[in-house]
């Protein structure tokens, strides 16, 4: 008698079921009438494997989170061992070893002066916490500062507060009436001294007008990620820090993307030699394993909230159920241990030099306008295509067919691979992108 076997799962069968129930992030779902959904079955090192047996180099570290490859042995071991001890407990009135050890480690690693750690569970939430804390700090000191300041072209997440301080129209425009008050000052157009000076001049004018009404300036230090891997100089950061400080404005360094070695130093702020009042961390913090974020802050900020419970309105009451989850903290501790024991920043320097060498070749292509690189980030900006041409999508589709996951930001094709990527994988990743861009010129 024939057994009534279930059809073997394939990308197509999984995708069919998926599309009848899941609403995906950052996606116009109608695109999937034509664009196949890739169903990932497993992953190891820099590779993702789908249900049809194809493998893809994860050239964007799964949205910039994965630092040491998928199914990393050391992180796996740490999470498994934590799982048998404590999976979760609330962090109000209770604590646990992984959160404590992680907080101690982060205080040690981040610039001196950031001495307190507040846990949350994703990047946008960390940004919300920093914005609320900054505003609340001033209020506790009897000052009403209802404005925030951020850079043009910035991205800080997509919850309402984080969207308000961001400047990527695609995500923000629709929600304009709901947003909190924020002013934007122009980001330097490039890394040159001239661009730096021009942007500082604009900042000076804004501060002279509104400086006393601004709680905090928030920046993605050195690189604006979602804004197209736009790089600006450390000098700008250094000067902006001095200028805003003189108005009593906090600096929030949003290192959610730049943190943990991405720009060549452990934190991008180190390159400008500045200590911000707040630093937000997430993404690479857990090596790409689990959602977790932290807001680092100075003792001065912490002290402004430390008072008797009866002083109503002074306590910082912000909570997420999964705040400081022990499994996520154990993944973070294992990630930081890899940095410590394996000389990662030094090894990355050699890899990024190799990536940069290969990047130079893209200049030859007639549709390439600019190339940019810093640390383990490299980007190629195309010229002459309007947004509705969606050339990024063409590059994405071609690269997938060739076994590379690239996810361009508009006309910017970028590489942000896991740090364990090897030379031959770098070759494949970049040669594939080169051919994808070259093909566009022939269409």
Ligand X SMILES: Cc1ncc(COP(=O)(O)O)c(C=O)c1O
Nearer to ligand X, 219 or 437 (CB): 219
Selected binder of ligand X within 43, 57, 103, 127 (CB under 6 A): 127
Angle, CA 187 vertex, CA 185 and CA 189 arms, to 5°: 140
- Residues 320 and 125: beta-carbon distance below 8 Å: yes
Compose the 266-285 pattern: x for residues touching ligand X by CB under 6 A, - for all others.
----------------x---
Selected binder of ligand X within 122, 140, 263, 411 (CB under 6 A): 122
- Residues 194 and 186: beta-carbon distance below 8 Å: no
Q: What are the strands, taking DSSP E only, across 165-300?
A: 182-185, 214-219, 223-224, 230-231, 250-254, 278-281, 293-298
Q: Which two tokens stand for residue 345?
A: 């920043």
Q: To which H or E segment does residue 326 belong?
A: helix 326-342
The piece of 118-126, 128-136, 297-305, 369-377 that touches ligand X (CB under 6 A) is 118-126
Q: Does 58 bind ligand X (CB under 6 A)?
A: no
Show the DSSP H helices in 90-211 as ranges. Answer: 97-109, 123-140, 160-165, 169-172, 193-210
Q: Which of 423, 405, 420 is nearest to 355 (CA)?
A: 423
- Determine the Cα–Cα distance for residues 281 and 256; give it in Å rounded to an integer: 4
Selected binder of ligand X within 123, 228, 326, 392 (CB under 6 A): 123
Q: Determine the residue with CB nearest ligand X.
A: 123
Total of chain residues touching ligand X, rule CB under 6 A: 14
Q: Does 69 bind ligand X (CB under 6 A)?
A: no
Q: Does 182 bind ligand X (CB under 6 A)?
A: no
Nearest distance from C-beta of residue 135 to ligand X, angstroms: 18
Q: Does 286 bind ligand X (CB under 6 A)?
A: no
Nearer to ligand X, 335 or 432 (CB): 335
Strand, coil or helix: what is 42?
strand
Selected binder of ligand X within 50, 128, 254, 381 (CB under 6 A): 254
Nearer to ligand X, 224 or 244 (CB): 224
With a CB cutoff of 8 Å and minimum separation 6, the contacts of 289 are 75, 79, 328, 331, 335
Compose the 213-252 pattern: x for residues touching ligand X by CB under 6 A, - for all others.
-------x----xx--------------------------
- Tell me which residues touch ligand X (CB under 6 A): 122-124, 127, 155-157, 220, 225-226, 254, 256-257, 282
């Amino acid at each position: 008698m024939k057994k009534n076997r279930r059809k073997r799962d394939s990308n197509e069968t999984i995708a069919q079921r998926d599309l009848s129930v899941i609403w995906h992030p950052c996606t116009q779902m109608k695109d999937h009438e034509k664009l196949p959904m890739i169903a990932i079955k497993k992953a190891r090192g820099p590779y993702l494997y789908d249900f049809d047996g194809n493998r893809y180099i994860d050239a964007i570290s799964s949205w910039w989170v994965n630092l040491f490859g998928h199914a990393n042995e050391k992180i796996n071991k740490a999470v498994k061992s934590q799982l048998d001890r404590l999976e979760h407990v609330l962090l109000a009135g209770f604590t646990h070893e992984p959160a404590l050890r992680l907080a101690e480690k982060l205080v040690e690693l981040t610039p001196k002066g950031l001495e307190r750690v507040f846990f949350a569970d994703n990047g946008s939430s960390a940004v919300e916490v920093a914005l609320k804390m900054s505003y609340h700090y001033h209020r506790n000191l009897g000052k009403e500062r209802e404005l925030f300041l951020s850079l043009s072209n910035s991205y800080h997440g997509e919850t309402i507060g984080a969207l308000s301080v961001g400047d990527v129209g695609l995500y923000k425009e629709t929600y304009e009436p709901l947003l909190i008050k924020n002013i934007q000052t122009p980001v330097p157009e490039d890394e040159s001294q001239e661009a730096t000076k021009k942007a500082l001049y604009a900042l000076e004018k804004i501060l002279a007008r509104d400086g006393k009404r601004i709680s905090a300036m928030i920046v993605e230090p050195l690189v604006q990620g979602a804004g197209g891997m736009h790089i600006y100089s450390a000098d700008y950061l250094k000067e902006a820090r001095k200028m805003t400080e003189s108005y009593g404005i906090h600096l929030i360094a949003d290192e959610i993307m730049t943190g943990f070695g991405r720009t060549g130093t452990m934190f991008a702020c180190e390159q400008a030699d500045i200590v911000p009042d707040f630093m937000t961390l997430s993404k690479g913090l857990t090596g790409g394993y689990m959602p977790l974020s932290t807001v680092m802050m100075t003792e001065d900020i912490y002290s402004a909230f430390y008072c008797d419970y009866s002083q109503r309105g002074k306590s910082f009451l912000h909570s997420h159920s999964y705040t400081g989850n022990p499994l996520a903290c154990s993944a973070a501790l294992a990630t930081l241990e890899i940095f410590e024991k394996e000389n990662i920043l030094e090894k990355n320097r050699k890899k990024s030099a190799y990536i940069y060498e290969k990047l130079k070749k893209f200049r030859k292509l007639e549709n390439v306008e600019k190339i940019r690189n810093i640390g383990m980030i490299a980007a190629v900006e195309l010229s002459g295509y309007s947004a509705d041409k969606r050339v990024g999508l063409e590059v994405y589709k071609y690269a997938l067919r060739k076994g590379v996951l690239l996810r361009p930001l508009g006309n910017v094709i970028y590489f942000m691979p896991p740090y364990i990527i090897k030379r031959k994988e770098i070759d494949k990743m970049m040669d594939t992108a080169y051919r994808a861009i070259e093909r566009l010129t022939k269409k």
